[in-house]
Structure 1
Amino acid sequence: MSTISREVNKNGGRDVYRAIAAQERSLAHAKRPKHCLLAREPALRQQVLVLLKEEWSPEQIVGHLRLHHGTDPRMQISHETIYRSIYTTRWKVVPRELCKRLRTGRPIRKNKRHTVKGQWRSQIIDARPIEERPQEAEHRSDFGHLEGDLMIGSNNSQVATLVDRKSRFLTVVKLASRHTAVVVPALAKTYARMDSRLHATLTWDRGMELAAHKQFTAATGVDVFFATPRSPWQRSTNENTNKLLRQYLPRGTNLSTFSQDDLDAIATKLNNRPRKCLGFRTPAESVALTR
């Protein structure tokens, strides 16, 4: 059906269509701001609020209304309209605390347009997949194959963690932000003061903080490989070490209050803690044994 046919049918069909009347309706329809459906229909709003308090999902509410009020057009609504009413504060037709009754409990809505589903995370240019990583890294047969990630704290704070797959030797890096222009130079500076035996490869997730991975490789000579999206088990050494690190840097901590010396001291504690996977040697001992 053409655009013209839809316009004519929407305004009464060929027999009654009048251009002036159609234009007036269009202008009235375009007026903003508009009251949302729940603000215009008190009975519908009350029913939706009751069911939200019962922790029903918007989709369940819509299905229930269609089943029990299918003949009443004023009791019909879409789940998308309910979500918009919850997360839009302009009209305040749904109390903000009801967002906690949703299964996600999010205070703000996640933007589907910003998802990385089905993509290589955030379009990192020339990202080398983990499948191309040397077998020595996979088998943990050599030192120097590190896994890295960001650890996030409160107030938009973060640190980077680097863990050797063979020895579990940890390095923690202070960061002023998670932007690649800050992260890459900080990692390169850290590598310059690290044991040269730890300069083989680096495996990271798909975060944009390493978008400038080519600059990092040029500065350090270390090849960077990227794990598959939503596959944390591919960097299990780093994930497990971060859990240990949370003893000293709990969730919700403002990580910007820690100096690099503070972070080095914490890493030293973990590097001198025996590990079962190392035969109860410490990561520091494991590195020192091969000198």
Structure 2
Amino acid sequence: MRQQSLSVRAMARTLGRSASTISRELERNTLGELPYASHSAQVCSQGRRQAARAPRKLDMQGVGWQVVLTLLDWRWSPQQIAGTLKRVFPNEPERHVSHETIYNAIYAQPRGELRRQLVACLRRGHNTRMPRTRGDDRRGQIPDMVSIHVRPPEVNDRVMPGHWEGDFIKGAGNKSSVGVLVERTSRLVLLAKMDDATAASALAGFSAKLNSIAEPMRQSLTYDQGKEMSRHADLAAQTGVKVYFCDPHSPWQRGTCENTNGLLRQYMPKGTDLSLFSQDELDGIADSMNNRPRATHAWHTPLGVFAQTLALSHQPPASIQ
């Protein structure tokens, strides 16, 4: 039908499909200037499907799996195999495999004699894989968290300035990140360049940005339970802010920051390598955001509202006659 120059909608009616489905197929699976062909389209589709999945560490046809089978036959445990591979090949990470991957490869085998032989090589010899954590979260918790539910009520009211929300936005493949701080009353945005997503980087980046503003405007910071905030006590000591943590999986408790993240994607689209942005470029993006009029401020800018609240915070209280 493509060779007969039929329209996309005509093809869709004939095949009983949506016109957008036909259009997407033609766009994604046509090679350059060549006409659409079923064989080349299938090759393109299979290539994308393979690229979307990371290659297995233990390919059943690969050398690594044969090594694991041999060591299992020697009655080695998966932990012993994993540790030995790292010791023998310290500079070849492609040969490394975790003990969990070995367990998963064993129990992924179809039921049969090979599966029974492999399971028999394990210490306990369970026929089914037992849960790794027995339901317990072993990733570790952030120490001494203070819940958002004990946060002062004036923070919720947005009347008093100086209360912030924070987050990380991630780049391509979650390999780069930028720290985001938003003041709840004015919606002023601060962006901090991060070398990585570790707690040390979060402490350094957020401390530098918070300390760059006047002390009266540093009252509290509300964050999710990301592990990058595990050094929140150090952040509080360096900046004077009180750090509160949201409930798990509750992004609406930091709605201002979540909305700001969406606006920032105009400047840093998803899939962008955020490590390419310098701190000066991030400051330029923040300045652009802070000088955009906002409906919530009757079309005043966040920078203007922030400056006004900062000026009011330095005025002495009126005397009572």
Give the alignment's TM-score, normalised by structure 2. Answer: 0.54
Q: Distance in 2 between matches of 1:175 and 1:244?
A: 19
User: Quick one: which amino acid aligns to residue 143 of structure 1?
Assistant: P
**Alpha-carbon displacement from aligned partner over 1:119-163 (angstroms, at most 9, x marks no partner):** 698400000000111111111011111000000002510000000
Match of 2:166 among 143, 148, 151: 148
Aligned to 1:278: 297
Instruction: Tell me what 1:126 maps to.
Output: 144
Q: Name the structure 1 match of 2:253.
A: 234
Structure 1 residue 208: Cα displacement: 0.7
Shift in Å, 1:206:
0.3
Where in structure 2 are there 5+ consecutive unaligned residues?
1-71, 76-103, 111-130, 312-321
Map Cα deviations across residues 82-136 of structure 1 (whole Å, 9 max, x no partner). 99469xxxxxxxxxxxxxxxxxxxxxxxxx8589x98698400000000111111
The CA distance in 1 between the partners of 2:225 and 2:205, in whole Å, is: 18
Cα 1:113/1:230, change in 2 over 3 Å: farther
Judged with a 3 Å threshold, the aligned counterparts in structure 2 of structure 1 residues 280 and 184 are, in CA distance, closer, same or farther, namely: same
Partner of 1:184: 203
Task: Pick one of 200, 203, 217 that aligns with 2:222.
Answer: 203
Q: Show the counterpart of 2:185.
A: 166
Question: 1:24 maps to what in 2?
Answer: none
Match of 1:93?
Answer: none
The 8 Å contact of residues 120 and 229 in structure 1, kept in 2 or not, is answered as no
Alignment gaps of 5+ in structure 1: 1-29, 34-79, 87-111
Number of equivalent positions = 191
Q: Following the alignment from structure 1 to structure 2, what is the Cα–Cα distance between the partners of residues 148 and 211?
A: 14
**Residues 243 and 259 of structure 1: is their aligned pair in 2 closer, same or farther, counting only changes over 3 Å?**
same
Distance in 2 (CA, whole Å) between partners of 1:228 and 1:120 is: 18
Distance 1:126 1:251, change over 3 A: same
Q: Please list, as runs of the form range in 1=range in 2, the aligned pairs for 1:1-291 lying within 5 A after superposition.
A: 31=73, 84=108, 122-154=140-172, 156-290=175-309, 291=311
Does the aligned pair in 1 maintain the 2:236–2:242 contact within 8 Å? yes
More divergent stretch after superposition (239-248 vs 190-199): 190-199
C-alpha change, 1:238 and 1:114, in structure 2 (3 Å) is farther
Amino-acid identity (%)? 41
Once residues 185 and 128 of structure 1 are traced to their aligned partners in structure 2, the CA distance between those partners, rounded to angstroms, is 21
Instruction: Give the letter aligned to residue 138 of structure 1.
Output: N
Query: How many Å separate the matches in 2 of 1:113 and 1:256?
Result: 35
Distance 1:192 1:121 in 2: 31
Q: For the aligned residues, what is the CA RMSD? A: 2.9
SS of the aligned residue for 1:147 comes to strand
Q: Deviations over 1:143-184 (max 9, x none)?
A: 111000000002510000000111100000000011111210
The alignment partner of 1:239 has SS state of: helix
Letter in 2 for 1:141: V
Q: CA deviation at 1:259?
A: 0.5
Distance 1:167 1:122, change over 3 A: farther
1: CA distance, partners of 2:159 / 2:145: 24
Give yes or no for contact 2:179–2:205 (8 Å, CA) kept in 1. no
Which runs of 4 or more aligned residues in structure 1 lie more than 3 Å from their structure 2 counterparts after TM superposition? Answer: 30-33, 80-86, 112-115, 117-122
CA drift of 1:185 comes to: 1.8
Quote the Cα distance in structure 1 between the aligned partners of 2:213 and 2:133.
Answer: 36
- 1:121–1:207 contact (8 Å) kept in structure 2: no
- The separation in 2 between residues aligned to 1:221 and 1:119, in whole angstroms, is 31
Change (3 A) 1:114 1:207: farther
**Counterpart code for 2:165:** E
How has the CA–CA distance of structure 1 residues 222 and 276 changed in structure 2, closer, same or farther, with 3 Å as cutoff?
same
Question: Alpha-carbon deviation of 1:287?
Answer: 1.1
Q: Which has the higher contact order (CA 8 A, sep 6+)?
A: 1
Pair 1:114–1:261, CA change in 2 (3 A): farther
Residues 8-53 of structure 1, C-alpha deviations (whole Å, 9 max, x = no match): xxxxxxxxxxxxxxxxxxxxxx6389xxxxxxxxxxxxxxxxxxxx
